[in-house]
Structure 1
């Protein structure tokens, strides 16, 4: 490999790494959520979401929670108008809380960045946590 080819290769590698590092992501925790293990979820405010690298052009973010151990149960979620904020505070929408009957389940929040209320998907981010922790 020539010096020019090596330089081009490493430049391309750095560019790919920078693009991968800039992937849309979310994080959350269960802070303040009342313990529920009866299998009868409560309707509660969304958790605090921290957003990173939201795709340019995003006008809405659709959130949906899935119980990975009971996928058929619909916990719901919500649609939030997006104005460039890094945090979505509790109270932006309401959903059915995690409430696994007799044990611990893994829950996943999916956030879909959109250009319109009903579509125009720009990117998807996911975050998982067990409940109870």
Structure 2
């Protein structure tokens, strides 16, 4: 009886583990037909460990873009989540400095330079990704 109980517990654990494996967060998948955008930014004037995002310039924006979804990633230490946010596209191609204040954590490297990447997704009115671009810079700047 003890052996059967152990097998039942083991089977239950395997079922639970398989179920949990399917509950991983959805990854953002950029459609193959998404336009390629150019992205540029500078860390000049940005203080470490703040919630103030730099000015970001985006060009080659596809027609129909209503919103930019922005994400900051620490390439040197990918486990650190720096967040981002969404900004309405006003037609200028400019995401103003400080526009990502809510949900954004700026660069905060521990005693060394890290390389950071901004990813910009152009979204249409239905929330479909129609464009994508990214740019990398080290922080702090030289």
The Cα offsets for residues 46-101 of structure 1, whole Å up to 9 and x where unpaired, read as 21111111011101000000000111111011100112112111122212111111
Which residue pairs with 1:64 in the alignment? 71
Larger Rg: 2
Partner of 1:107: 116
| Count of residue correspondences | 105
* TM-score in terms of structure 2 length: 0.68
TM superposition outliers: structure 1 runs of 4+ over 2 Å: none
Task: Note the residue ranges of structure 2 that are not aligned, 5 or more in a row.
Answer: 1-34
Aligned mate of 2:92, from 85, 93, 100: 85
What corresponds to 2:37 in structure 1?
24
- Pick from 123, 132, 139: which aligns with 1:131? 139
Return 5+ residue gaps in structure 1 as ranges. Answer: 1-21
TM-score by length of 1: 0.73
